[in-house]
Amino acid sequence: MASVKEIKNSSFIVQKYIEAPLLFHKRKFDIRIWALIGYDGKFYLFKEAYVRTSSEEYDLSGDKLDQIYVHLTNNAVQKYSKNYGKFEEGNIVSVKALSDELAS
């Protein structure tokens, strides 16, 4: 068993996979926005944001469970998909496009 000192000096990442995520045209997405915390502790938020989408429709069935193009929205991963850019240029849409889709 780890000692309290060992645990205190360790880093952990805890996450939960969301099985029923909000989708954009049946595909996963994430929203990217830039933020900066200055040396003085002030927080700055860039007004523009964008939405990154996956190249494949979201599906939790057995044969799709381990498909990275279904579950990850990272451009560094998606750019290798045969469907990259098929739905949106560079798999990127505006926050307004997402908002309009979710409102409909």
Pairing of strands 92-94, 43-53: antiparallel
Tokens of 22: 């909000």
Residue 26 forms part of a structural domain: yes
Q: What is the count of structural domains for the chain?
A: 1
Asked whether the predicted pLDDT for residue 70 surpasses 70, the reply is: yes
Residue 14 forms part of a structural domain: no
Q: Which domain holds residue 39?
A: 20-103
Higher pLDDT, 31 or 64: 31
4-63 pLDDT tens trace: 556 666 777 777 888 899 999 999 999 999 999 998 999 999 888 999 999 999 999 888
pTM for this one? 0.75
The DSSP bridge partners found for residue 24 are 27
